[in-house]
Amino acid sequence: MHTDSAELRARVDGSPMSRMQWSAIVVCMLLNVLDGFDVLVMSYTSAAVSQEWSLSGSQLGLLLSAGLVGMAWGSLLLAPMADRIGRRALILACLVVAAAGMLGSALSQDAVQLGLLRVLTGVGVGGILASSNVIAAEYANGRWRGLAVSLNVAGYAVGATAGGVITVALQSSSGWRSVFVFGGAGTAMLIGAVLWRLPESLDFLLTQRSPRALDRLNELLLAMKQPTLEAMPDRPDTPAGPALTVRQVLTPQLRRNTLLTWVGFFTAMSTFYFVTSWTPKLLVEAGLSAAQGITWGVWLALGGIFGTMVLGLLAARFPLKHLLVGYTLATAALLALFIPAISTYGLLLALGALIGLFLNGCVAGLYALALSTYPPEVRATGVGWGVGMGRIGSLVSPLAAGGLLDSGWGPGQLYLAAAVVFAVGGLAVHAVRLSSRVPR
């Protein structure tokens, strides 16, 4: 019997999850662990790096933003390639780039070299994330898609938590360079995990036909405990012609949601990376020890793990947009309360965990929202550009914070500004219009 692509997708969405589907989601989560480790390792080692090379606040801000510049480039320039050459192929290539950049960072002789290698690492990580989040969503069935995306984003918090623990252990005995060696080795090991347990995207095989597409599709269907096909399904409705570009996510049907999603990602990630990049150092300047600053970062990350998990479970019962608006308001309020609580360390840790819970939940929800906005044939491009806009915000905020601190701003003013920026993102999310015609 002939099956078209929409029927096949609906069949997968309505079927129980197989072991292969869960294992693919786990590998995608591990790829997000790389993101958490990579970003926070620079934050956690910033005090030691700054001391070794006598960096000013603005110079350190540039160094903290270098990896984020690379991630923005990776998301904007490489993610559309995943819609042409395949999500899995792009992930493998980007893992090689990220591993090389991480290992090279350990050999840096000055801040310029380290900054350039951080850009290279970021390019690889940025290209990985758009594709891994898409694959995780595509291999989840309809019931567990929200949880799959949340688990994927929770990988960031796991990596951030591990980064704090590992940094304290390695930096105290072997110096900050050893932390980058560890990260590079772990990134290289993920190449084997992808080759072993991460299949190519199902929707990519349906939209981009290769000579062996039917054989590869049937192999996936067997692993998912689905009936095999005698012929390729009808191609989904997708424009014929040249390779997909960002213009297709700016068509009249998608433009409104695309622009609003870009605002949401920009504001959320600019706030997120300001908090994660600068807070450990600001706490040290406020009188806490370096270990206490890193411990706060670990509590932030632990809160993030629970925040993304809780959002994924709640999204199965409540509208995602409503949850995101609630998470946004809670985050803005907690950011405003943070600096007044700085004199009480126990309260500071509790607020860190709560900020991590709601802030990471917002980022997870934005990924899920973007995945729900775009049809399969432009999904990697749409999500990649959304993440890329977020990365632009993430690289601007550490730079802006460094400049504002040098000009006389205090931590309280910075956190209040972050709260306002985050609230603007909540308004953008509230204005997104979701259509039931877009596959979820």
H/E segment holding residue 143: none
Q: Where are the domains of the chain?
A: 16-233+244-430
Query: How far apart are the C-alpha atoms of 341 and 310, rounded to whole Å?
Result: 26
**Among all chains, which residue has been given the structure tokens 């940025």?**
126
Q: Tell me the pLDDT band of 436, cut-offs 50, 70 and 90.
A: very low
Q: Closest Cα to residue 49, out of 66, 26, 35? A: 66
The fold for domain 16-233+244-430 equals Growth Hormone; Chain: A; (1.20.1250)
What's the longest Cα–Cα distance across the chain? 71
The pLDDT of residue 432 is above 50: yes
Query: How far apart are the C-alpha atoms of 71 and 423, rounded to whole Å?
Result: 24
Report the percentage of the chain scoring pLDDT > 90.
18
Average pLDDT taken over every residue of the chain: 82
Check residue 240 and give its pLDDT. Answer: 40
DSSP string, 174-189: H-THHHHHHHHHHHHH
Per residue in 112-146, pLDDT (tens digit) is 999 999 999 989 988 887 788 788 888 888 777 77
CA torsion through residues 23, 24, 29, 33, sign:
positive
The pLDDT of residue 4 is above 50: yes
Report the percentage of the chain scoring pLDDT > 70.
94
Residue with the bigger pLDDT between 256 and 435: it is: 256
The pLDDT of residue 438 is above 50: no
Check residue 267 and give its pLDDT. Answer: 92
Contact between residue 156 and residue 36 where contact means Cβ atoms under 8 Å apart: yes
Q: Tell me the pLDDT band of 37, cut-offs 50, 70 and 90.
A: confident
The pLDDT of residue 261 is above 50: yes
The pLDDT of residue 439 is above 50: no
Helix (H/G/I), strand (E/B), else coil: 102 = helix
Q: Tell me the pLDDT band of 176, cut-offs 50, 70 and 90.
A: very high
Query: How far apart are the C-alpha atoms of 411 and 339, rounded to whole Å?
Result: 7
User: Residue 90, Cβ neighbours under 10 Å: how many?
Assistant: 25
Check residue 131 and give its pLDDT. Answer: 83
Check residue 31 and give its pLDDT. Answer: 92
- The pTM for the full model equals 0.73
Q: Closest Cα to residue 50, out of 300, 339, 274, 290? A: 290
Q: Closest Cα to residue 102, out of 28, 14, 191? A: 191
The pLDDT of residue 277 is above 80: no
Contact between residue 255 and residue 433 where contact means Cβ atoms under 8 Å apart: no
Q: Which residues contact 134 (CB under 8 A, 6 or more apart)?
A: 82, 87, 201, 371, 379, 380, 383
Q: Tell me the pLDDT band of 414, cut-offs 50, 70 and 90.
A: confident
Contact between residue 304 and residue 356 where contact means Cβ atoms under 8 Å apart: yes
Query: How far apart are the C-alpha atoms of 243 and 83, rounded to whole Å?
Result: 9
Mean pLDDT (whole number) for 166-192? 90
Mean pLDDT (whole number) for 307-324? 82
Query: How far apart are the C-alpha atoms of 117 and 241, rounded to whole Å?
Result: 37
| Highest mean pLDDT out of 63-67, 158-162, 244-248, 426-430 | 426-430
Q: Closest Cα to residue 138, out of 66, 199, 222? A: 199
Per residue in 195-231, pLDDT (tens digit) is 999 988 877 887 766 777 788 888 888 888 888 888 8
